[in-house]
Structure 1
Amino acid sequence: MPFALVSNGSLLTPEQPDVTVPWWSFTKTVLAAAALSLVRDGLIGLDEGVPEGPFTLRQLLRHEAGLADYSELADYHTAVARNETSWSAAEMLQRLDATRLRYAPGDGWRYSNVGYLFIARLIARVTGLRLEEALTQRVFTPLGLSRIRLATTRADLAYVNMGAASTYDPGWVYHGLLVGPLVEAALCLDRLLDGHLLPQSLLREMQTVRTLGGPIAGRPWVAPGYGLGLMQGMVESGLTLSGHTGVGPGSIIAVYRCIDGNSTASCAVFDESGNEGAVEAEVVRHLICAALE
């Protein structure tokens, strides 16, 4: 199982750190960082409304906007399993009836990839750039990362470890699918949460979570929560982790930083499996080892 472990900016015990993998929903953390950089620069407000609906950027980032998710559509899963070409975003939104909110914004919580599609559109609209250009300018270059790209066609995945999904169409990830070396995923999170991009006030906002209940069966979370583009909470070992797990056809990535005490470490794990809990547990194992060094 390849992984890259980072502690205080130094690479520790790397194993295949340069393998290029799909970042799946860790892309959400990058989108959140880019959106918060716009807030930092006074270009948008966290609690301002957005054109896509009666909700704010904060509510989109924390999955509190009331939106549904296309993963609820049986036809979506069937089409992906058959390696079909992705629907257009307009068709997906129509099939989902995305204009019908499932609850009043701010009154509930529902994981929604559609919300992050709207965030991606907001970033492109405000910057006047293509999404990949905006993410490079706003996140990757400031964090000293240069080997990450946005996959939009099957050809873009030719040299990416896609596990069992070698013919996958990245268009199915409507908010965008970042791909890059595993080590850069770990460094991205480590430098982001270490304050290399956002002021402490916005990092606190990013890590202010909505608690999502108690333990999750088969996974290490004891007190899971969701912040602004971050999954965050206590795990069985007693550590508090902040980052994101990403799941797609054929593989899983988990990228987390231990945020307890003075000793910080970040770890990225990628596995060609469908077991989120096992991959997250591998992250926890490495972070415990880093904490004991």
Structure 2
Amino acid sequence: MERRAFRVNGFAVLVGLLVLGVVMAGAGWAAGVPALIGAAVAWVIVAAVAASGFVVINPNEAKVVQFLGRYVGSVSDAGFQWVLPFTTKRRITLRVRNFETAKLKVNDADGNPVEIGAVVVYRVTDSAKAAFSVDDYEEYVAIQSEAAVRHLATSHPYDAHDEGRTSLRDGAEVAAELTTELSDRTELAGVEVLEARITHLAYAPEIAQAMLVRQQAAQVVAARTQIVAGAVGMVQLALNRLAEEGVVELDEERKAQMVSNLLVVLCGDRAIQPVVNAGSLYA
């Protein structure tokens, strides 16, 4: 787990080294030339040791500090800092990053081959896990993202033909599920997934034309169903108004004929040419 490393303001340590140098030089000068030379050599050694602990931290960045292979802590305070000397410092960025998966070809829940791709927005929240739990946290996020997208595609169909079934085209629900799964997968690497969304979704080229015909047929059926429902309502309204206002009295046979004519007019996909019956020429 990440913990805070010992650190001191770098400028304070630098000023301390300069003060120490002045004091040592003054003492050596008072004791003679050999003592002055010895003081200078001692100050150079101390300064060289202390200089190995200076480090510059940029905003939204952390340095993982190790001493002889042992993790001693992380420093994330931006600025000029000083940590324990003779330590190694590994840079870990804490900035928000984007990753876009390649277009993957997988079979959906119905067995149809589809092409799918996603974009993942993430950031490192635990520098120690990112540095030591995995070899390369960026590569780890990339591989886990592709695995999560493949699992998502095989768990849902491209189109949900039954009610209560989530399809890959349901953006908000699919994005929430993908984000949750990726968060669980990348927690080991100290990574927080902020958002994951599908950016590319299409049938594979070999079945795209057949699926297009299927979608068009489904849309035609849905449109016809709505048209018929509306036409039935209009016919019912017309018959009720005629009966309420007493415009004309129709027997069952004429009602059936009227319903048939109205449905042909309302549900037809072509312009209707009406035939007007003006009555007989002879009494």
Report the TM-score, using the length of structure 2 for normalisation: 0.18
**Larger-Rg structure:** 2
**Bigger relative contact order, structure 1 or 2, given CA contacts below 8 A and separation 6+?**
1
Q: Select the structure that is richer in helix.
A: 2
